[in-house]
Structure 1
C-alpha cells in the first residue's frame, strides 16, 4: 500500500485550489461537499466557479496563487492543467510543508483523491493508487446502486445516541445493539424524528438482556482463494470476537476478519513445529466460556482431516453451543485446477479421500483395492509419504504408468501442478521441490483449463 487512506478533519479549515478549467471544476464539485473554507486562484475561472463564488460557497481570487496564499491551508490542489504552473504550485506547497495534489499527475502528488460514495455522514472512499480509475468508478457505481439513500439518516440519528449506548459494556454487547439498529429496526424508520424512540426501546431491551453465552463456529476457509469462501463463512468472520486459525488459512482470508477481533495462530506443520491439539481445544473452550463468538477457522473443509470431532467433543463437554460451516475441500479445488472430475460415468463410481500419514506415521489403506485399474483417490498430506505410497501400490499390482497429479497451493495465485506417473512420482516430486501444501490425485491427469485472468493458471511438469 503506497497511499495510506485517512479521513482528514477539514471543517472550517482552508483548502487552496489553483486553476479554473475542467480539472478544477471536477475537484471543486467534490470539495464543495465538505465544510472546508475553499479558496480558488484562477485568472480566467469558468462561469460555474464564478457562480459558486457569488453564492459565497467559495472565495475566488482572479490571479495566480502565491506562496503567501498557502499559509494556513491543510490541502492544496494544483489544477491549472499546465505542467509549469502545476509544478510551481506543488513546489510552493512543499516549501510550506502542505501536501499537494497535482491533478492527473500521480507521481508528483503528495496525496490522491479517491472515488467517494457520499451518504453524509457515511462516506466510502475507493482508491486504486492511480492504477485503475475506471475500476474505481465502476465500484463506486455498484455501491451507489446497493446502498440506501437513507443510510445517512440512520447514521445521523445513531451519532446523537452514542453516549447513551455507552451504558452497554464495550465489545460484543454494544456491537449487538448497533447491529440491531443499523440492520434491523433502523432501516424501517420512516423519518429521523422517530429514530430516538426506536433507539431507546432497543437500548432498554439490550440492557435487560442477560449476558450472552459464548458460541463456537467451526468454519471451513476453503483452499485459499478468498472468492471460494462461502457466504455463511464470511458472515461468521464478520461477527467473530476471536478467530483461531490453522497454518493453511491464507492471509487474504484473514484480512476479512473484523479488525477488532483477536486472531490466534495455532497452525500445525507436518513433521515440524505444531500447537498441541489439547492446547487448541483448551483455547477454544477458554474463549467460549468468556462469552466470545469464536470462529475456529480451518483450511479447506473442517470435516475433512481437520480433527473436528476432537474439538467438538471439547466444546460439548464445556457446555458451549456450536455449529459447523462447511468449506470447499482441497480435493475439489485441485480437480477444478486440472479440469477433471472426481467421478466419471463408466470409469469410477466412487472416490476415496485418503491421508498420507496419521498419528502413528504413514497411514495404511486397502492398497489392493486402490491398485485396481480406474481407481481415483485424493491423497492429502502425501508429499513426505510419496515413496511409501508408490511402493504399496506397485506391490499390490498397480501399473507403473498409472497417472498421478500433484496440485500445490490449489486455487491460490502460486498454484503449481505436477503431472507424473506412479513410477516417476518420487523423482518428479523431488525435481519440483514443492514447498506448499500439496494434494495428490491418483488416477487423474490434467486437462487443459481455460481459466479467467483472475484465476491461477495450470503449470504442468512432466
Structure 2
C-alpha cells in the first residue's frame, strides 16, 4: 500500500487550486461538497467557476500563482493542464507547507483523490493507486446501485441520537441496536418520513434496553481452501458478527481480513508433526469465550467436518451447555481436483473416492490398502507429504501399478498454487525435489487433465 487512506477534516480550512479549465472544474465539483474555504488561482477561469464565486462558494485570484498563495492551505491542486506550470505551482505550494496533488500525474502527487460514493455523511472512497481507474469507476457504480439513497438521512438522524444510545452498554448490545436500526427498522420507517424514523429510534432503544443479554454461541465455520472468493455467504456473515475468531494455522490472511475489525483474533494453529496447541486448550478457549456471552467463530481450513476434530469441540460445547451450529466449507479435495481440471468420480472409472489423512498414522496403517491398490481407484490424501514413502510402500506392496498417476497440489485455489504431477513410483523423490512448503493435498489415481489425456492416448495406441 503506497497511499494510506484517510479522511481529512476540511471544514473552515483552506484548499487552493491552480487552474481554470476542465481539470479544475472536475476537482471543484467534488471540493464544493465540503465546507472548505476554496481559493482558485487562474487568469482566465471558466464561466462556471466565475458563477460559483458570485454565489459566494469560492474566491478567485485572477492571475498566475505567486509565492505565499498557498499559505495555511491544507491541500493544493495543480490543475493548469500544463506540465511546466503544474511543476511550478506545486513547488510554490510545497514551499508554503501544503500537501499537493497534480491532476493526472500520480508520480508527482503527494496525495490522490479517490473515486467517491457520496451518501453524506456516509462516504465510501475507492482507490487503485492509479493502477486501474476504470476498475475504480466500476466499483463506484456498483456501490452507487447497492447503497440506498436514503442511507445518508438515516446516518444523520442516527448521529443526532448517538448520545442517547450510549445508555446501552458498550459491545454487542449497542452494536445490535444500531444494526437493527440501519438494516431493518430504520429503512422501513424512512418511507413514512424523518419524524417516523425518530419515533422508531426511541421505540427501538426501549426494546433493546429491556432485552435480555444475548447468550454466547459457537459457529464452526469452514473457511474453504484459502481463496476468499470460495468462502460461503453464511461464513461471511458469521465473520462479520463474531466477537471472537479462533482460527487454524492454515487460514489465509485474506480470509482473516474479512473478520470484524473489533473481533478478538486467536491463533489456535496445529502443525502436523510439529508444535501445536493442545486440543483440550482449544476446547477451553471456545467454551470459555462462549460462556462469557461472546459470539465465537471457530474457523477451520477447508470444511469443518473433514479431518477437523470437529466432534471433540462439539462435545466440549455440549458438556459446557454452549449452543453451536456448523457452516460447511469447500474442502481442499474439491479445490485441488478443480485445479487440475479433473473430477473425483468418473463413470466407468470409479464410483467412489476415499478421503484419507496422513496425519493419523495409526488409522493410516490400518487402511484397506488392498482395495485402494486396484486399477481405477481414487483417493484424496490430506496432510500426506511426510507420509509419501509410507503411501508408496503400502500401495505397491498390495499390487498397485507403480505407473499409477499421483498429483500433489500445494496451496490449492490460492494465487501461489503449485502442482506436482508424478507417479506412485516417483512420488517420494519428486516431492523431495519440489520442496513444497505450504499445505498440500495428494490425489492418488489422478493426473492433471492434459497429462491424463496423453496417458489415455498412449494406452489406446499400445492396445491397437
Short-chain TM bin:
over 0.9
Q: Deviations over 1:395-415 (max 9, x none)?
A: 001011011100000000110
Using the TM superposition, name which of 65-74 and 32-41 deviates more: 65-74
**For 1:200 and 1:282, how far apart are their aligned partners in 2?**
40
Compute the displacement of 1:448 (Å).
4.3
Aligned partner of 1:453 in structure 2 is: none
**For 1:201 and 1:273, how far apart are their aligned partners in 2?**
53
The 1:176–1:10 alpha-carbon spacing in structure 2 relative to 1, beyond 3 Å, is same
Compute the displacement of 1:360 (Å).
4.8
SS of the equivalent of 1:212 reads coil
Aligned partner of 1:124 in structure 2 is: 124
Aligned partner of 2:43 in structure 1 is: 43
Task: Say if 2:112 is the partner of 1:112.
Answer: yes
Task: Say if 2:415 is the partner of 1:434.
Answer: no
Q: Is the 8 A contact 2:69 2:93 kept in 1?
A: no
Aligned partner of 1:269 in structure 2 is: 271
Aligned partner of 1:143 in structure 2 is: 143
Using the TM superposition, name which of 434-443 and 91-100 deviates more: 91-100
* Aligned 1:16-31 pairs, distance under 5 A: 16-31=16-31
TM-score of the superposition, structure 1-length normalised? 0.96
Runs ≥4 residues deviating over 6 A: none
TM-score of the superposition, structure 2-length normalised? 0.95
Compute the displacement of 1:160 (Å).
0.5
SS of the equivalent of 1:417 reads strand
Q: Is the 8 A contact 1:45 1:62 kept in 2?
A: yes
Compute the displacement of 1:381 (Å).
0.6
Aligned partner of 1:10 in structure 2 is: 10
Using the TM superposition, name which of 115-124 and 182-191 deviates more: 182-191
Using the TM superposition, name which of 266-275 and 213-222 deviates more: 266-275
Compute the displacement of 1:361 (Å).
8.1
**For 1:139 and 1:343, how far apart are their aligned partners in 2?**
39
* Aligned 1:392-431 pairs, distance under 5 A: 392-431=394-433
Aligned partner of 2:390 in structure 1 is: 388
Using the TM superposition, name which of 286-295 and 94-103 deviates more: 94-103
Q: Structure 2 stretches of 5 or more lacking a match?
A: 452-464
Q: Is the 8 A contact 2:404 2:445 kept in 1?
A: yes
The structure with more helix, counted as a fraction of residues: 2
The 1:354–1:433 alpha-carbon spacing in structure 2 relative to 1, beyond 3 Å, is same
Q: Deviations over 1:100-146 (max 9, x none)?
A: 10001111111000000000110000000011111001100111111
**For 1:363 and 1:9, how far apart are their aligned partners in 2?**
66
* Pairwise CA RMSD: 1.1
Q: Structure 1 stretches of 5 or more lacking a match?
A: 450-462
**For 1:84 and 1:65, how far apart are their aligned partners in 2?**
13
Q: Is the 8 A contact 1:362 1:385 kept in 2?
A: no
Aligned partner of 1:317 in structure 2 is: 319
**For 2:64 and 2:352, how far apart are their aligned partners in 1?**
79
**For 1:364 and 1:21, how far apart are their aligned partners in 2?**
79
SS of the equivalent of 1:287 reads helix
**For 1:379 and 1:389, how far apart are their aligned partners in 2?**
10
Q: Is the 8 A contact 2:382 2:441 kept in 1?
A: yes
